[in-house]
Amino acid sequence: MESLIDKLLELHGQQVHLNQLKEKARSASMAVAARQRQVAAAQDAVRQLEDQRKKAQRLADARELDVKSLHGKIQKLREQLNAIETNKEYKALQNEIKFVEIELRRAEDEELAAMDQLEQHEGGIKSAGEALKAAEAGLAEVKADTAAEAEALDADIRKAERDLQDIGGQLPQDALETFNRVAAKHPDGAMCPLIKDDNPSNGSLSCGGCHLRLTENVYVRLVGNRNEFIICPNCSRILYVEP
């Protein structure tokens, strides 16, 4: 007949196995979530660049209208030259045309700069669109890779949970409650071995979890009665002596 410690170790092994399965499932879920964040970031980058392109397009359109307006103004002023009767008025109109031509050249430079900026945004949007497609493809690939694995892991987790419950049902209620309480505190395992140090100058025994020094009496009790469980006074893990 199995001892209490042996049964607790069986329960411990099953709990560790269940935790490992859950960690695998969590890792798979995190991989998908990471790809989803990449897609969301790529989509946001495309939206921002498209907004910038719209602003650049509005600016380019406005500069184009300015250039057309100034060309029209110069044309009208030149037509007015033919109707001028005095030399003074003629020179004044010529000066006005020169000022408008200066304004036109500035507007044309601004139009070219706006068009160049628009072209840069177009290139940025193209690159961002390609990055988005790559991110979406990566997400689809990860989802496809993890779909079958997730289904298998889910089945394994359900089985491990049933096995854990079955083993727990074979334990005394007080032992099971203690185990569950310690397992909730220590996800890495509710049980740890008693470590015997070969160097007598350092003391002989310690908890395998927190390394607290323990008395020889603990070892004697664990070896003498495997139906008794002892918890570490520091970390509360259930101690055992390895066969």
Q: What are phi and psi of 205, to 5 degrees?
A: -130, 145
Pair 18, 164: CB distance under 8 Å? yes
User: Does the pLDDT at position 202 exceed 60?
Assistant: no
Q: Is 220 exposed, middle or buried (0-12, 13-18, 19+ CB in 10 A)?
A: exposed
pLDDT in tens, 133-169: 999 999 998 888 888 788 888 899 999 999 999 999 9
Q: Token pair of 180, please?
A: 């569950």
pLDDT tens digits for range 203-228: 578 999 999 998 888 888 988 888 88
Q: What is the rounded distance in angstroms from the CA atom of residue 105 to the CA atom of residue 179?
A: 85
Map out the domains of the chain with their CATH numbers. 4-171 (1.10.287.1490), 175-240 (no CATH)
pLDDT of residue 198: 64
Report field, pTM of the whole predicted structure over 0.85 = no
| Euclidean distance between CA atoms 40 and 10, whole angstroms | 45
Task: Provide the CA 168 distance to its chain's centre, in angstroms.
Answer: 37
Sheet containing 230-231, strands listed edge to edge, beginning at the edge strand earlier in sequence: 213-214, 205-207, 191-196, 238-240, 230-231
Containing H/E element for 19?
helix 4-81
